[in-house]
Amino acid sequence: MKNVIEVRNLVKTYFLSDEVSVQAIRGISMSVEKGEFLAIMGASGSGKSTFMNILGFLDSLTGGSYLLDGVEQASLDDDRKAEIRNSKIGFVFQGFNLLSRTSALENVELPMIYRGGARPSEVRRKARELLAMVGLSGREDHHPNRLSGGEQQRVAIARSLINDPAIILADEPTGNLDTRNTAEIMGIFSRLNRELGITIILVTHEPEVADYTGRRIVFRDGLIVQDVQFRKSPRRGVK
Amino acid sequence: MNIRNLFVTAFRSLAKNKMRSALTSLGIIIGVASVIMMVGIGNSARVAVRDKVYTYGANAMSIDSDRPFTEKDLERLRRTTSYIRYITPMIGGRVVNIKYENRFIASRIRGVNNDFFRIQEWPATYGRYFTELEILSYEKVAILGDSARLALFGNASPIGRIILVNNVPFQVIGSLSELGQAFSGRDQDNVIIIPYTTAGLKIEGRRDFNEIYASTYSEDLVGKTADEIRRSLRAERSIPAGQQDGFTVKTSKEKLEMAEYISKTLAILLAGIASISLIVGGIGIMNIMLVSVSERTREIGIRMAIGARKRDILLQFLIEAVTLSAAGGIVGITLGIIIYLVITIAVGWPFLFSVFSIAISFIFSGAVGVFFGYYPARKASSLKPIDALRYE
Ligand SMILES: Nc1ncnc2c1ncn2[C@@H]1O[C@H](COP(=O)(O)OP(=O)(O)O)[C@@H](O)[C@H]1O
Ligand SMILES: [Mg+2]
């Protein structure tokens, strides 16, 4: 099976000053196959977010290599990276990161507008469809401050899907949500993985959340200390 | 990201801070309004001056001399130059008291011959000009300017009436059409015109005079004729080469050029002031855009995370700055036109609507936005996605 993500000896060091530096990731190697659904767990400060940000082309790496679909991250210029963030990867954050004073519909449309090439009517139609898919029909014109946390996260998921990404990266997507909303969000992720074959990597503290996935990786102090596949990832409708 | 979306985004974020946006544009508004106003006023002034100079006669010239002229000088000038068409002594400019029945006015008096009216192309509305006999025999006859006539006689006919000029009785034989205000604001129609012979004898108490008006057959002969007059007078008065004339020949053309020079200098000066306020306005925009960029760092991070390229962010902030300055430009243009219109109405100058200066002002205000918005926009676009996202 082909690996979408291939990480070798990845190192990330934050240089705080000339003398002080923090090594957030100290040499990680791992790979992710197409269509996998995996959870990253580990104590706070163990480097999970740092790792996700690198996978999501939001941050650069200090050492090692990261291949996405066989292409080395370091070889890409800023515009290419932006295009990959735009079309290949969907990011879902713990804090939702929606644009305030912008309607749910417009938040969802934005990545497609940045990609360009689509007619406004087409963008609108697709954004509506996705909002309907995450159960937010009729809330299109609501601004984020009038939506609950669970609803905001569903808008964020719809936004991450509008350019048909191959991968969704979700950094503690349910960290701010109650049990009911957590179950709903995880239900959506499972469906996306099962029905559309989207590769999903999510960070979580909660074992119940990790149970939705097929593989668990545990981080400690910038290293992987455990990597178990306890369920065969669904393969139906692989992208 | 297409232009429409960029503008919508820009308008929204400006609308979020209406007061701040308005205050920021103020510098541009003032700058552009003053450009529009100054250019307009400059043009109006130029046209107004030209109109006034042409009422004095485009072919006309005046000769002033400290050493007085006599009638012989007039004849000699006619003889020794080639293109003088009309020539008249010009006596006075002195203010006199005029009385008719129980009405008194103060008016300016001029002593001339009939050529004067032809030089100035100044038609009579009532009565007639002087006769040769009246001039030769020092007749006490007068022709009134329009406002002098109106003040003394109202709508009644002035012809044949006797008025007292400094207590000397004169008979009114005509009155002239209206010339309007001089550029200086002086009423050119408050005059009383009498034969130069009479003026010398009865008003000035001397027969010679210090000023001559003349005109040529056409405008392009004015310069040549002025030179001929200079040469002739120098020869007549035996002024050695290298010594100053002691008299001056002023042509309409020179007066016009002088007026244009003054209004041009004024325009340059005012353009300088206006561009300083545009620069200050631009700095205001830069300042507020820098504030905006740092306030919206997280927004920039989110946009980058979902795929905005550097140039998308750059364009977003640049368009915001340009929208701010161009909106200021539009308001400034409107304000400038209104002020300019009010001024022209108040002063009585022509209102000249200049599409060119409006276009230039608009383009300029947009350019100010681009110039001063570039640095903040650049700063926004060169943020690293993760740093912008993490910004608190
Ligand atoms: N921008 C940064 N500058 C300096 N240190 C950082 C930065 N981001 C994260 N770190 C450090 O890197 C380590 C890993 O952080 P993080 O990846 O956020 O952990 P986790 O998401 O697992 O809680 C922590 O020690 C944290 O303090
Ligand atoms: Mg984290």
The DSSP bridge partners found for residue A224 are: A219
3-state secondary structure chain A: CCEEEEEEEEEEEEECCCCCEEEEEEEEEEEEECCCEEEEEECCCCCHHHHHHHHCCCCCCCEEEEEECCEEHHHCCHHHHHHHHHHCEEEECCCCCCCCCCCHHHHHHHHHHHHCCCCHHHHHHHHHHHHHHCCCCCCCCCCHHHCCHHHHHHHHHHHHHCCCCCEEEEECCCCCCCHHHHHHHHHHHHHHHHHHCCEEEEECCCHHHHCCCCEEEEEECCEEEEEEECCCCCCCCCC
Residue that finishes a domain, picked among B252, B287, B322: B252
**CA dist., res. B89 & res. B62, Å (int):** 10
Cβ of B12 within 8 Å of Cβ of A86? The answer is: no
Among candidate residues B214, B55, B51, B74, the one with its CA nearest the CA of residue B145: B55
Count of the separate structural domains present in chain A: 1
> pLDDT, tens digit, for every residue of A216-235?
999 999 999 999 998 776 54
Query: Which residues of B touch chain A, with CB atoms under 8 Å apart?
Result: 1-2, 5, 12, 16, 298-299, 301-312, 384-386, 389
Q: In total, how many domains does chain B have?
A: 2
Between chains, do B304 and A91 touch, taking CB under 8 Å as contact?
Answer: no
Q: Note whether residue A65 is domain-resident.
A: yes
The verdict on B73 and B197 lying in the same domain is yes
Q: Is the ipTM of this complex over 0.90?
A: yes
CB atoms within 10 A of CB B278: 27
With H, G, I as helix, E, B as strand and everything else as coil, classify residue B93. Answer: strand
**Model confidence at B183, in pLDDT bands (50, 70, 90)?**
low
Indicate whether B373 and B345 sit together in one domain: yes
Q: Is the CB of A48 under 6 A from ligand 1?
A: yes
Closest CA to B91 of B162, B197, B178, B176: B197
Cβ-defined contact of A114 to B385 (cutoff 8 Å): no
Report CA-CA distances (Å) from A34 to A68, A80, A167, A235: 11, 21, 9, 9
If asked whether residues B95 and B7 sit together in one domain, one would say no
- One domain for residues B155 and B303: no
- Same domain for B301 and B362? yes
Residue of B nearest to A56 (CA): B305
Of A97, A91, A90, whose CA–CA distance to A144 is shortest? Answer: A97
Task: In whole angstroms, give the CA distance from residue A219 to residue A39.
Answer: 11
**Contact yes or no for B273/B35 (Cβ under 8 A):** no
B265 and B173 housed in the same domain? no
Asked if the structure places residue A178 within a domain, the reply is: yes
Which of A94, A113, A157, A169 best tests the B interface by mutation, with the highest count of B CBs <10 A?
A: A113
pLDDT of B177 above 80: yes
| Chain A residues within 8 angstroms (CB to CB) of chain B | 53, 56-59, 78-79, 82-83, 85-87, 91, 97-99, 101-102, 110-111, 113-116, 159, 163
Does ligand 1 come within 6 angstroms of the Cβ of A15? no
- Please tell me the least confidently modeled range out of A20-34, A132-146, B42-56, B358-372: B42-56
Q: Is pLDDT above 80 for B50?
A: no
Q: Considering every ligand atom, which ligand is closest to the CA of A45?
A: 1
For ligand 1, whether the C-beta of A14 sits within 6 Å is: yes
Closest CA to B200 of B117, B271, B302, B111: B111
How many whole angstroms separate alpha carbon B280 and alpha carbon B273?
11
Instruction: Write the DSSP symbol of residue B239.
Output: P
Could you tell me if B207 and B140 lie in one domain?
yes
Give distance in angstroms: CA of A72 to centre of ligand 1: 24
Q: Are B38 and B84 part of one and the same domain?
A: no
Residue of minimum CA distance from atom 8 in ligand 1: A50
Size of interface A-B (CB pairs under 8 A): 65
**B25 and B135 co-located in one domain:** no
Chain B residues near residue A115 by CB distance under 8 angstroms? 307
Amino acid at site B324? L
A43, A49, A50, A56: CA torsion to nearest 10: 150
Asked if B1 lies within 8 A of A116 by C-beta distance, the reply is yes
Ligand 1, atom 26, residue with closest C-alpha: A45
Calpha distance B16→B113 (Å, rounded): 75
A160 is a domain residue? yes
Q: What is the SS3 assignment for B167? A: coil
Distance, in Å, from the CA atom of A209 to the CA atom of B5, rounded to the nearest integer, reads: 38
Pairing of strands B162-165, B84-100: antiparallel
Region B295-309 average pLDDT: 95
Any idea which residue has 């692989």 for tokens? A238
Which of B188, B220, B252 corresponds to the end of one domain? Answer: B252
The whole-number pLDDT of residue A237 equals: 38
Compute the distance between CA of residue B309 and CA of residue B6 in angstroms, rounded to an integer.
13
User: Helix, strand, or coil here: A30?
Assistant: strand
- Give the whole-angstrom CA distance, residue B83 versus residue B87: 11
* Amino acid B258: pLDDT: 75
User: What element of type H or E holds B267?
Assistant: helix B252-295
- Containing structural domain, residue B271: 3-52+257-390
A202 assigned to some structural domain:
yes
Q: Which ligand is nearest to the CA of A44?
A: 1
Residues B205 and B292 in one domain: no
Residues B169 and B156 in one domain: yes
The number of the ligand 1 atom at minimal distance from the alpha carbon of A44 is 23
pLDDT surpasses 80 at B267: no
Any atom of ligand 1 within 6 Å of the Cβ of A53:
no
Are A111 and B2 a contacting pair at CB < 8 A? Answer: no
Together in a domain, B218 and B347: no
- CA of residue B88 relative to chain centroid, distance: 29
The beta-strand segments (E) located in chain A are 3-15, 21-33, 37-42, 63-68, 71-72, 89-92, 167-171, 199-203, 215-220, 223-229
The protein residue with its alpha carbon nearest to ligand 1, atom 2, reads A14
Among B229, B252, B275, identify where a domain stops. Answer: B252
Look at B2 and A101 and tell me if their CB atoms are within 8 Å: no
Query: Cα torsion at B43, B46, B50, B56 (round to 10°)?
Result: 140
Q: What is the pLDDT of residue B52?
A: 65
Q: What is the mean pLDDT of residues B49-63?
A: 75
Distance, CA of B189 to chain centre? 21
Question: Tell me, what's the pLDDT at B160?
Answer: 92
Question: A41: Cβ below 6 Å to ligand 1?
Answer: no
Q: What is the pLDDT of residue A238?
A: 39
More confident residue, B108 or B50: B108
Which residue lies with its CA nearest to atom 13 of ligand 1? A24
Nearest to B340 by CA among B52, B39, B50: B39
Does A75 fall in a domain?
yes
**Domain carrying residue A180:** 3-229
- Whether residue A209 lies inside any domain: the answer is yes
Instruction: Answer yes or no: are the C-beta atoms of A167 and A88 closer than 8 Å.
Output: yes
Q: pLDDT 10s per residue in chain A (239 long)?
A: 579 999 999 999 999 888 899 999 999 999 999 999 999 999 999 999 999 999 999 999 999 999 999 999 989 999 999 999 999 999 999 999 999 989 999 999 999 999 988 999 999 999 999 999 999 999 999 999 999 999 999 999 999 999 999 999 999 999 999 999 999 999 999 999 999 999 999 999 999 999 999 999 999 999 999 999 987 765 443 33
Q: B305: which chain A residues are within 8 Å (Cβ-Cβ)?
A: 56, 58, 85, 91, 97
Q: Nearest C-alpha of chain A: how many angstroms from B184?
A: 60
Q: Residue A139: which CATH number?
A: 3.40.50.300
